[in-house]
Structure 1
Amino acid sequence: MRIGADSTKFPGAVRLNPVELIDRAAKLGLEGVYFRSILELSPTLDRAQLQDVSQQARERGMRLEAGIGKVNPFSTPEAPHIRKLGGGDYRRAQIMMIEGAAAIGIHELWSALSNYQFHLSGLYAFDRFRTDVDWPAQLRATTAFLKGLAPVLRANGTHVNVETHEEITSFELVRIVEEVGPDAVGITFDTANVAVRGESPAAAARRVAPYVRATHVRDVALVRESDGLRRYLVPVGEGVIDWRAVLDALAPAAPMLSIEGIIASRAGMSVPVFDPRWAPNHPEMVIAERDELLALADDYQRRAHEGEVPDATALAGPVEPDEPRRFLENSMRALRTLLAGTRPSMSKETA
């Protein structure tokens, strides 16, 4: 499995053009870049620009993956630039992106259903808990939309790989893939997001493994709260994830392991598994996995008390200026050690 990085969380990405980002990633020893949008390579999908970026990546031995934006019709108004690209037609814009990516050999494309509302807190930060349109209706609309894209995806030999994002369970995502067809839709497995839905990362990896074609890789710190847990992001090997189990599950597919780091925060998210509204909204909740997360949180608290890892106060605090780079580099080293077949040593450098 190659080790790459997600473009949106790459240190200094906002100041880099795509070729500069690829070059910097290559110099760090990474083997690919997962651009969250193909429009990062060319905002107008200009074929010459796309070919130039692709050529630069090939010369450096770098794999490119990209994305096409959200596929939940109830979230697409939050991406007006995509609708504008299609002359007002969001679906047309996504077809243009699929075809533009395929023209330069990118056939694994990221997507997700919704955006996390960072300016809110609690359940309503997740579109799963919207009351204007319920979650089952959003899932049905997403499935129908993907079925409409499927002929174009098949014609281009391409997959839209929907992420195990903060709002969707692995069970629901597997059903979408199987209903639309795994020859058109796959999964981007985000190792950290499944915990936000109360799922064990190792168990979720095994559930989605047959359909995984891309990844977002980072570790998880879990902290107990009055109504459940709070999840924070930490470098690979410094949290609670059983990486041997996750990588063993993903090994047959051998996707690129794209490190998605941090920029402005460690992305603390509530996991209120004891909130009375939680269980009715998670009918497939596995109690054993919930209890596993609670036990992992207790073990993390023990390690924090012993000074091995950052405690809850540090995790909720500001990100240090050099922390995004250290997050990426620590994760890369840990993954290399894991892929070499040995256990990574725990870094005491906070990230």
Structure 2
Amino acid sequence: MRIGLDEWTIHHLDISAYDKLDLVESFGLEGIQFADARALSRNFDLGEIREVAAEAKRRNLYLEMGIPGLNFLRPSAKALEAGQGDYMNGLRRMLEAAAATGTSVIRTFVGGPGDRLRRDAEWQLQQRGAIQIAQSLAPLARELGVYLAFETHADVTSFELLRLIEEVGDDVAKVILDTGNFPIVLEDPLAATRRLAPHIIATHMKDCITILTEQGISSQCRPLGTGIVPLADILAILYPLHPDLNLSIEDHEGIYRMDIFKAGWERDYLDIHANDLAWLIEQARLSEVRIESGEISGMDTLEGIPWADQADARIRTGAANLKRILGEVTTL
């Protein structure tokens, strides 16, 4: 397993792809997952894209790629631009450009924060749309020799991803495991990892804390190894199955709120298990104790610090903790 960086962690930096490779090396990391090919070439020039990929290979850095999410309600401006106003043509062009790097991992997602709770279109309808788009892209993905790796991305549950994989086909649809997003959909990260483990081909290694509010549960990212995510237990599941899996660190600002004290909230989370919810509430209690003792900062306090002023130290802390945890797991 190699430890690298997800590009969103450094979204505050307006630098070239080559500079991002330099940055990854400066952190002592071993690769990067780019959001999409525009980070390598603004015009999707396949020659420029292959040059960046060749440079990463020369430095012995892994490189993984992405395309925008497959949600017809929120079609990506990047995909629309790439397709000259045609969303599907834009997705195809971006998929071809990402595959030009030689990676087989193409990250995508169903929905982002808030999409599950939209009232202009039911979440089930959005999922159906994403499945249909993935099915349309499947022949091209097979031709290119790549997988559409759906992230556990803020609004989709592990159960929903399993159903998506069954419909699209596991020869095309796989999973990017974001370890810190499960609390946002009220899931226990360890239980969800067990369910998804056979389908995981990439990761966003993320940690978080939860707290209870008058509205429900709030979640906020924290440096790896300082939050509630059982990273050692998760890696103990993944390592035997996928010893060559890349571990891409993701960390960022933002507070995510789940209004579980609102009447009828259960309709939006049909897959929720009582054990998962109990675990999240217990973790919230423990996080609040840590905040009150001064061990860790409160959510609002931390959110008041610009991400650019936190990112470097948080990446280094998370990388050191993840290397230590991985070392402990792999020597058992």
Say which of 135, 150, 164 aligns to 1:147.
135
Q: 1:30 maps to what in 2? A: 29
Once the two structures are TM-superposed, the CA of residue 321 in structure 1 deviates from its matched residue by 4.9
Distance 1:12 1:141, change over 3 A: closer
**CA offset digits 1:77-108 (Å, max 9, x no partner):** xx223112123222222222222222330220
Structure 1 residue 272, shift from structure 2 partner: 2.0
> Structure 2 residue aligned with 1:256, among 240, 246, 249?
246
Tell me how large the CA RMSD over aligned residues is.
1.7
Unmatched 5+ stretches in structure 1: 117-125, 344-351
TM-score (norm 1): 0.89
TM-score by length of 2: 0.94
Structure 2 distance, partners of 1:286, 1:315, is 31
For 1:195 and 1:58, the matched residues in 2 are separated by: 35
Contact 2:154 2:181 in 1 (8 A): yes
The 1:229/1:67 distance shift into structure 2, 3 A limit, reads same
Q: Does 1:339 align with 2:329?
A: no
Which residue does the alignment assign to 1:277? 264
Q: Who is 1:75 aligned against?
A: 74
Query: How far apart, in 2, do the equivalents of 1:101 and 1:160 lie?
Result: 11
Tell me by how many angstroms 1:331 deviates: 0.7
Match of 1:3 in 2: 3
Structure 2: gaps of 5 or more residues: none
Q: Aligned ranges for residues 1-351 of structure 1 at < 5 Å?
A: 1-10=1-10, 13-14=13-14, 16-76=15-75, 79-116=76-113, 126-251=114-239, 252-254=241-243, 255-262=245-252, 266-319=253-306, 321-341=308-328
2:180–2:207: 8 Å Cα contact kept in structure 1?
A: yes
> Does the 8 Å contact 1:217/1:260 carry over to 2?
yes
CA distance in 2, matches of 1:223, 1:180: 36
Aligned partner letter, 2:273? V
Residue 342 of structure 1 deviates from its aligned partner by 6.5
What is the CA distance between 1:113 and its match in structure 2?
2.1
Separation of aligned partners in 2, 1:60 and 1:211: 29
Q: Are the aligned partners of 1:11 and 1:324 in contact in 2 as well (CA < 8 Å)?
A: no
CA distance in structure 2 between the partners assigned to 1:2 and 1:310 by the alignment: 30
Q: CA deviation at 1:320?
A: 6.5
Secondary structure at the aligned position of 1:204 is classed as helix
Q: Deviations over 1:286-308 (max 9, x none)?
A: 11110001001111112222222
Name the CA distance, whole Å, in 1 between partners of 2:194 and 2:171: 20
Give the paired residue count: 328
Contact 1:67 1:111 (C-alpha < 8 Å) held by counterparts: yes
- CA–CA distance in 2 between the matches of 1:232 and 1:308? 16
User: SS at the partner of 1:94?
Assistant: helix
What residue identity is the alignment partner of 1:81?
A: K
SS in 2 for 1:142: helix
- Equivalent residue number for residue 121 of structure 1: none
DSSP-derived class of the 1:236 partner = coil
Asked if the contact 1:11–1:325 (Cα under 8 Å) also holds between the matched residues in 2, the reply is: no
Q: Do the aligned residues in 2 keep the contact of 1:198 with 1:273 (CA within 8 Å)? A: no
Once the two structures are superposed, residues 288-338 of structure 1 have per-residue CA deviations (whole angstroms, 9 ceiling, x without a partner) of 110001001111112222222223442343236531111111110011001
Distance 1:284 1:321, change over 3 A: closer
State the distance in 1 between where 2:186 and 2:261 align: 11
Kept in 1: contact 2:224–2:318 (CA 8 A): yes
Q: Which amino acid aligns with 2:132?
A: A
Amino acid at match of 1:260: E
Determine helix, strand or coil for the equivalent of 1:13. Answer: coil
